[in-house]
Amino acid sequence: MTTLSTSLTTVTSPVIRTVDAVHRLGTIVGVWAHPDDEVYLSGGLMAAAAARGQRVVVVTATRGEHGTDDPARWPPARLAARRGHEIVASMAALHGDIEHRFLGDARGRCHLDGALRGDPGAETVDELAAVLADVAPDTVVTFGPDGLTGHGDHRAVSAWTDRALRQLAGADGRGPRLLHACVTAAWVERFGEFVEPMDDGDDAFRPVPTDRLAVDLELSGELLDRKVAALRAQATQTAGLEAAVGSARYETSVAGEYFVPGAS
For each of the domains in the chain, give its residue range(s) and CATH number, in order of start: 23-261 (3.40.50.10320)
Closest residue by Cα to residue 116 from 37, 230, 234: 37
Single-letter amino acid, residue 207 = P
Cross-strand bridge partners of residue 216: 258
**Which DSSP string corresponds to 39-67?**
HHHHHHHHHHHHHTT--EEEEESB--TT-
Residue 172 buriedness (CB in 10 A; 0-12 / 13-18 / 19+): exposed
Condensed to tens digits (0 to 9), the pLDDT of residues 140-166 reads 999 999 999 999 999 999 999 999 999
Predicted local confidence at residue 5, as pLDDT? 43
Predicted local confidence at residue 110, as pLDDT? 79
- Strand 256-261: give its sheet, edge to edge: 99-102, 56-60, 28-32, 139-143, 177-182, 256-261, 215-218
- As a whole number, mean pLDDT of residues 81-91 equals 97
Closest residue by Cα to residue 153 from 209, 161, 21: 161
Predicted local confidence at residue 204, as pLDDT? 78
Burial 77-89 (b: 16+ CB within 10 A, else e): eebbebbbebbee
- As a whole number, mean pLDDT of residues 6-26 equals 76
Instruction: Tell whether the model's pLDDT for residue 170 goes beyond 80.
Output: no
Gyration radius of the chain's alpha carbons: 17
Residue 99 φ then ψ, to 5°: -95, 150
Alpha carbon distance 227, 221 (integer Å): 10
- As a whole number, mean pLDDT of residues 118-126 equals 91
